[in-house]
């Protein structure tokens, strides 16, 4: 096969409609834009414009605050960790990188946070950026341990 022999599948590309090309085309003269008015002219961008009155997005009240520096954690539940241990995808000490390699998490983001949803029956040593109090209790109840490496989370857990 050569480059000049390549072609698209039949029907994959559609020819664009050429407007303003005579009355026989059905799209002649005004080219489907109607008669007069702002939208019939070229160079019109009126998204969100309401004819001079105050637009709705400016009339409605704004509330709250979006922190641009907030941390977004990847969340892992104990029940999922147990499921992956049973399937043989997680073994030994469980780290954030191990969770990604096993396929339980797609990415780390600003760290991994362990939550207490589900049950953990296997003894496991887990190292994560953050963990809820319930998750730490559940892991310790199963005979394992949780090591929290995050700065804010470790200060939170040491005071508890």
More confident residue, 122 or 150: 122
Q: Look at residue 68 and tell me whether its pLDDT is greater than 80.
A: yes
Phi, psi of 73 (to 5 degrees): -100, 145
The string of pLDDT tens digits covering residues 17-39 is: 999 999 999 999 999 999 998 88
Residue 48's pLDDT band (cuts 50, 70, 90):
confident
CATH of domain 74-159: 3.100.10.10
Residues of the chain above pLDDT 90, percent: 56
- Decide: pTM greater than 0.85: no
C-alpha 83/C-alpha 103 separation (Å) is 12
Span 106-120, average pLDDT: 91
């Amino acid at each position: 096969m050569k480059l000049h022999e390549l072609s698209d599948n039949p029907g994959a590309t559609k020819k664009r409609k050429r407007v303003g090309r005579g009355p026989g085309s059905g799209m002649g003269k005004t080219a489907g834009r109607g008669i007069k008015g702002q939208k019939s002219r070229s160079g019109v961008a009126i998204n969100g414009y309401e004819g001079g009155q105050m637009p709705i997005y400016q009339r409605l009240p704004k509330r709250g605050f979006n922190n641009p520096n907030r941390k977004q954690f990847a969340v892992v539940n104990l029940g999922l960790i147990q499921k992956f241990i049973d399937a043989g995808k997680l073994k030994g000490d469980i780290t954030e990188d191990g969770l990604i390699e096993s396929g339980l998490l797609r990415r780390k983001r600003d760290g991994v946070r362990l939550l207490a949803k589900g049950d953990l029956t296997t003894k496991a040593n887990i190292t994560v950026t953050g963990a809820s109090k319930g998750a730490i209790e559940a892991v310790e109840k199963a005979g394992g341990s949780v090591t929290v490496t995050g700065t804010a989370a470790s200060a939170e857990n040491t005071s508890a």
